[in-house]
Structure 1
């Protein structure tokens, strides 16, 4: 799969800091060098630089249009021209610029707005409503449009995954939605059921709708980010039976830096848990086909790692890309973990065959959910057999399917909640241990400094005593006066004359 690393320009408050991630001088387009900061405790143990490779490194001088042309446009063309299902997800630490990259801000369009304009341009000969900051796309799209023009109605869905529940951002206030599995192009696909499909007819109208829908997304201020997204946003374009999905993942964070408490701390635990599940799936995909695949650790991985994008049995060429956003001056530890996910993704080939889905050994809910599912379905079968006979089992199973799914969702949410709490507690304990270790190191340093100061004072006192003794012995010495016989000297002088 394609991996794109985007470096965020340093904040005004961090302009003078030395970045821990630098673009390599020999291969600036594809490699970066990771150097542990001197102020970090790890720098004392190992100060070796690591060279990391990606499909493309987007430096901090790259514009939104540069990001779109490099990372997104090939997926858009494959989606429109070849009918290829595409997936692009932005990942990174909180405050690294993911949401800005995906959705832009008031003055500059993000890749979502540019994708909307490009899709309409390629399907309906649209020539106006150019998104802000997308002027550089005009010549490129017009050249492509001369050779390719696909007709079809484009629709869009926009959802968020908040606390392991899906919500329709186009229709806030509705009930949470569930995942639905179906067969798509010969493979099993997973999608959010019940989302409203919005027809795309105008760039400006659609972009305005997206902007208003994003206001319904859960965002709160933390010490690390004034507008921290507390949910994953999933935007999908549909055209002629195919889908192009753009995902803005919530940023990982540590309680110590973010200063989260209460509900915000619980949200952070679930976010970190789902991102960890994504990382474990990417690690498993490096060696595809070995063992079972941990796709059901969270609803996020169930949605992202389904058969449409990863099954090698599909005849279509799949397009999957990761857009890793990094702030190279802040949050070294968290960014190191994100970079590991990105390097794992760089070693993954799309169309990797997934093993049988399972929950990872790191997840406590694996056996429990499997047991609950088996018990629920067994109970449904027994009740159906007793009431209507064995021949009516299939009808009974269909009628009870919704109840069974709700039961499974309940137990899955409960297990996820428990695991999120465990991860949160583990993070708190780890941070407390690190703080205690730092306090112990500081106390040892203070003690050593005090001992050195005492030794210095002792040596100075000894030296002062020796100096005083020397001065005293010198003062006790009596100088014998020397008398000169001036008469003899005068007589001797006369003789010489």
Structure 2
């Protein structure tokens, strides 16, 4: 009887299914989840590259030459802390002995708006860089390993206004920042594999092989933009010497692969996306109107529709375009920072590789300079500056919500969906927030007493990001047809390459000359058309004036003629009546004469 009751209780139906979280075999398992195979999965992930989309993916689907790996790995973002060098650093910020924990404690006389902020707090980071650490160590820890492993990575610089975010990313004329070092590292890594022509491009998040005319057009746009860039040859040589003196970048061995590198630069200002690498209008007197771009998400791929992406051949060209985009950024002065950035900007480097076997791969490196979180009472912003500060704080708040949702997704099964669509910044960084790309965050803090509460907000933001744990799928790679454009980079010698480059340069210059002549012809035709239109208008106005004058003269003659006719008629009628009056008067006189036989009878 007991066995029958047990079997009845264990019976399940469609309305009463078994809980999927219950192990029916009751196998032993540890109480705490341990990640025992991270090292093995990391080694397997290094052999595959990130994000490859080719033409065959859109036209053919199936197992034809494609390979995919369904295994998953758990990763989390790396969060680094950098303390800005100051003359008298505060004692409220203490680095622990282990070197990756920051201890904060408010002063006894601190008038904090929140009692919780007066408590001692511990914030853990991947690494903490004090004021003695230079740009070289920061790059070696944060960016260098990602480029060597050829992984897609998004690097964000976050912190209060004036805490050194832009300096960390860009540096100055002597101490190069992360972005110049990364550019030099990328071009050194693929030194012998960089292809000279733009044959492969990322269009709407998909890699497309360009036709010859499209390639020439891209090279012409590249040439026009580089002509607008400031001259940086001496500065680049100086930075290159500094970078190669600090690092020993290894060159990748020669393979049967062609590498094409593209850069793009966007700005998010007041929740509007602007392209910083657009060509100015041809006519100098016309004002350049910035066009708001749209962020599109299609089949899990996020891209900016209409964004200008420029093909570069060297780190100097990429650095020139970076400086050109910086000149177009929106800056303003506040009470905290005399040259404060009023927008978020994202500089993207796309490395596209075409292998001899027909396989294409893509690596994207995004460098995000987030605008500083501000308190209006301290920055003293009013008017348009206040609107900018509100947009900045709103986008950073949405970014914090996305990180909080990503961290709670691992802890709770029914956690909220990551609200990355609530802000343009989070939409653009969607891949990193969802764990599809590596995420590294460099948090900058000014260790002074007056920024204590602002620093606590930044540190709390960083602690949320540190607790995120993504489940990341390994990259899928697809094969496509082989194109002959790769043969020049692999089989041709240096003379052939120089000759090809010379022919391409001549072709580009001739195309530019043809375009310039066409533009001159169109301009002359437009001027001639305007002149003819003006002549026709003047002739038409003169004819109208002549016709009007003739009409007035005809009307005057007609009026004079009518006046004469009416005067003649009036004169004839007057004479007629005068004659009648005279006749009547004669008759009256005859009647009154005594010789008249007619008697006048009075009524009396």
The TM tier, using the shorter chain, reads: 0.5 to 0.7
Q: TM-score, normalised by structure 2?
A: 0.52
| Structure-2 change in CA distance of 1:273 and 1:193 (3 Å) | same
Higher-Rg structure is 2
Instruction: Please give the alpha-carbon distance, in whole angstroms, between the structure 1 residues aligned to 2:369 and 2:392.
Output: 12
Q: Deviations over 1:168-216 (max 9, x none)?
A: 1112644111101123xxxx02122211111221222321221122011
Q: Deviations over 1:286-343 (max 9, x none)?
A: 1226222211221111111x2x33546x6xxx31111111111141111111111100
Query: Does residue 1:8 correspond to 2:115, yes or no?
Result: no
CA contact (8 A) 1:167 1:177 kept: yes
Q: 122-131 or 214-223, which moves further after superposition? A: 122-131
Q: Which residue of 1 aligns with 2:104?
A: 34
| Structure-2 change in CA distance of 1:147 and 1:331 (3 Å) | farther
CA contact (8 A) 1:124 1:151 kept: no
| Structure-2 change in CA distance of 1:48 and 1:311 (3 Å) | closer
CA contact (8 A) 1:179 1:192 kept: yes
Query: Does residue 1:273 correspond to 2:394, yes or no?
Result: yes
Unmatched segments (≥5 aa) in structure 1: 354-497
CA contact (8 A) 1:107 1:132 kept: no
Tell me the matched-pair count: 331
Q: Which residue of 1 aligns with 2:420?
A: 295
Instruction: Please give the alpha-carbon distance, in whole angstroms, between the structure 2 residues aligned to 1:6 and 1:151.
Output: 37
Matches within 5 A, 1:122-137: 122-125=189-192, 129=237, 131=240, 133-137=242-246
Helix, strand or coil at the partner of 1:341: helix
Q: TM-score, normalised by structure 1?
A: 0.62
CA contact (8 A) 2:406 2:433 kept: no
Q: 1:335 aligns with which of 448, 455, 478?
A: 455
Query: Does residue 1:200 correspond to 2:200, yes or no?
Result: no
Q: 2:363 aligns with which of 242, 257, 260?
A: 242
| Structure-2 change in CA distance of 1:57 and 1:151 (3 Å) | farther
Instruction: Please give the alpha-carbon distance, in whole angstroms, between the structure 2 residues aligned to 1:146 and 1:293.
Output: 41
Helix, strand or coil at the partner of 2:405: helix
Instruction: Please give the alpha-carbon distance, in whole angstroms, between the structure 2 residues aligned to 1:57 and 1:69.
Output: 13
| Structure-2 change in CA distance of 1:126 and 1:110 (3 Å) | farther
Matches within 5 A, 1:76-475: 76-79=147-150, 84-125=151-192, 129=237, 131=240, 133-139=242-248, 141-142=249-250, 145=252, 151-171=258-278, 173=288, 174-183=290-299, 188-240=300-352, 241-288=362-409, 290-304=415-429, 306=430, 308-311=431-434, 318-329=437-448, 330-351=450-471
Helix, strand or coil at the partner of 1:279: helix
| Structure-2 change in CA distance of 1:265 and 1:238 (3 Å) | same
Unmatched segments (≥5 aa) in structure 2: 1-76, 195-235, 281-287, 353-361, 474-604
Instruction: Please give the alpha-carbon distance, in whole angstroms, between the structure 2 residues aligned to 1:149 and 1:245.
Output: 27
Q: Deviations over 1:376-413 (max 9, x none)?
A: xxxxxxxxxxxxxxxxxxxxxxxxxxxxxxxxxxxxxx
CA contact (8 A) 1:123 1:150 kept: no
| Structure-2 change in CA distance of 1:94 and 1:152 (3 Å) | same
CA contact (8 A) 2:193 2:259 kept: no
Instruction: Please give the alpha-carbon distance, in whole angstroms, between the structure 1 residues aligned to 2:135 and 2:364.
Output: 23
Higher RCO, 1 vs 2 (CA within 8 Å, ≥6 residues apart):
2
Instruction: Please give the alpha-carbon distance, in whole angstroms, between the structure 1 residues aligned to 2:416 and 2:186.
Output: 39
Structure with a larger share of its residues in helix: 1
Q: Deviations over 1:69-89 (max 9, x none)?
A: 11011222233xxxx321111
Q: 152-161 or 170-179, which moves further after superposition? A: 170-179
Matches within 5 A, 1:22-61: 22-24=94-96, 26-28=97-99, 30-42=100-112, 47-61=118-132
Instruction: Please give the alpha-carbon distance, in whole angstroms, between the structure 2 residues aligned to 1:73 and 1:149.
Output: 24
Instruction: Please give the alpha-carbon distance, in whole angstroms, between the structure 2 residues aligned to 1:227 and 1:19.
Output: 28
Q: Deviations over 1:116-162 (max 9, x none)?
A: 111101111599955364234432x12x6469997401100011100
| Structure-2 change in CA distance of 1:346 and 1:36 (3 Å) | same
| Structure-2 change in CA distance of 1:100 and 1:17 (3 Å) | closer
Q: Which residue of 1 aligns with 2:508?
A: none
Instruction: Please give the alpha-carbon distance, in whole angstroms, between the structure 2 residues aligned to 1:3 and 1:125.
Output: 34
CA contact (8 A) 1:102 1:110 kept: yes
CA contact (8 A) 1:120 1:126 kept: no
CA contact (8 A) 1:89 1:321 kept: yes
| Structure-2 change in CA distance of 1:157 and 1:252 (3 Å) | same
Q: How far off its partner does 1:352 sit?
A: 6.5
Instruction: Please give the alpha-carbon distance, in whole angstroms, between the structure 2 residues aligned to 1:333 and 1:33.
Output: 14
CA contact (8 A) 2:161 2:340 kept: yes
Helix, strand or coil at the partner of 2:149: helix
CA contact (8 A) 2:193 2:254 kept: no
| Structure-2 change in CA distance of 1:44 and 1:338 (3 Å) | closer
